[in-house]
Amino acid sequence: MQKKALLVISFGTSYAETRKKTIAATEQRLQKAFPDHDFYRAFTSRMIISKLKKRDNEIVDVPREVLTKLKAAGYTHVRCQTTHIINGHEYDITLKEIKDFEADFESLTLGRPLLTTVEDYEETIDIVMGKLPKLKKGEALVYMGHGTDHHANATYPCLDYMFKMKGYEDVYVGTVEGFPELENIVPILKEKKYKKVYLAPFMLVAGDHATNDMASDDEESWKSVLEEERFRVECILEGLGEYPGIQDLFVEHLKKAQPVTEM
């Protein structure tokens, strides 16, 4: 007899409001697509897991802990879906943890991060640009991606290029911890004489980076830096996980998930 589980794996966030709008909303969309699977959640950020436990007495497992419990409970078929944006460090760790269990279930699959194929980039851009304000003359949109020292950081300049290829000449992609940085984008904004800049996170959740590094009044936030350069700035505090279209892309990735034995 088959016993099926769905494990949704996210980086996580300690911001309860955005977690409900993004991670939980995406989880619900995935559950709806696979109603015959029992649902389980895992986070990959040990720092966030520790903070939630200490602050809220809320327990969230890492993928390895959930899979250990699923094995003990007699599950035979397990579908896993990551909500990570890129194929970076967090995804590598996730895949390694899951592959350790490949012999413990009759079927164990993993769906890839949001931006994996060229088609993913194209569809994601169509979705997000359909949700944001239409840019007027003299306005630009700058996305804040997380960034990484992993080679998958190439995702962000690729994404920037793809926006331009699809006709969105006034959209730029920067990162907090990778390349391009805001300092690489500001000279372009000045050269093109934009008057107003929209800022939005290119992250699943509008959490710590969006709230503090992007939109706060701290002198080093992206908002403050751009205002110092005399741009009018409007921040859009919406995570990608709030958009039904993005949730549906994760559903499609889950439907196409590969057995971990083949990854």
Q: Which pLDDT tens digit goes with each residue over 10-53? A: 999 998 898 999 999 999 999 999 999 999 999 999 999 999 99
Percent of the chain whose pLDDT exceeds 70: 100
The yes-or-no verdict on residue 197 having pLDDT over 90 is: yes
Q: What is the mean pLDDT of residues 195-220?
A: 95
Return the closest-CA partner of residue 252 out of 28, 30, 9. Answer: 30
Catalytic residue set: 146
Ordered by start, the domain boundaries in the chain are: 4-115+243-262, 118-239
Q: Answer whether 159's CB lies under 8 Å from 115's CB.
A: yes
pLDDT at 212: 94
Q: pTM for this one?
A: 0.94
Q: Phi/psi of residue 41, each to 5°? A: -115, 145
Band (pLDDT 50/70/90 cuts) for residue 133 is confident
The yes-or-no verdict on residue 56 having pLDDT over 90 is: yes
Alpha helix positions (H), the chain = 16-19, 25-33, 46-56, 63-72, 89-99, 118-131, 155-165, 182-191, 208, 222-228, 244-255
Judge whether 4-115+243-262 and 118-239 match in fold.
Answer: yes
pLDDT at 262: 86
Q: What is the mean pLDDT of residues 74-95?
A: 96
pLDDT at 207: 87
Q: Phi/psi of residue 12, each to 5°? A: 105, 165
pLDDT at 195: 98
**CATH number assigned to the domain covering 4-115+243-262:** 3.40.50.1400
Q: How does pLDDT run across 224-253, given as a tens digit for each residue? A: 999 999 999 999 999 999 999 999 999 999
Distance (Å, whole) CA 27 – CA 7: 9
In three-state form (DSSP H/G/I as H, E/B as E, the rest C), the secondary structure along 79-90 is: EEEECCCCCCHH
Q: What is the mean pLDDT of residues 73-89?
A: 97
Distance (Å, whole) CA 182 – CA 243: 25
For residue 218, give both structure tokens: 């701290």
pLDDT at 124: 98
The yes-or-no verdict on residue 1 having pLDDT over 90 is: no
Distance (Å, whole) CA 193 – CA 166: 22
Around Cβ 262, how many Cβ atoms within 10 Å?
Answer: 7
Q: How does pLDDT run across 144-174, given as a tens digit for each residue? A: 999 999 999 999 999 999 999 999 999 999 9
Architecture of the domain spanning 118-239:
3-Layer(aba) Sandwich (3.40)
Q: Answer whether 53's CB lies under 8 Å from 19's CB.
A: no
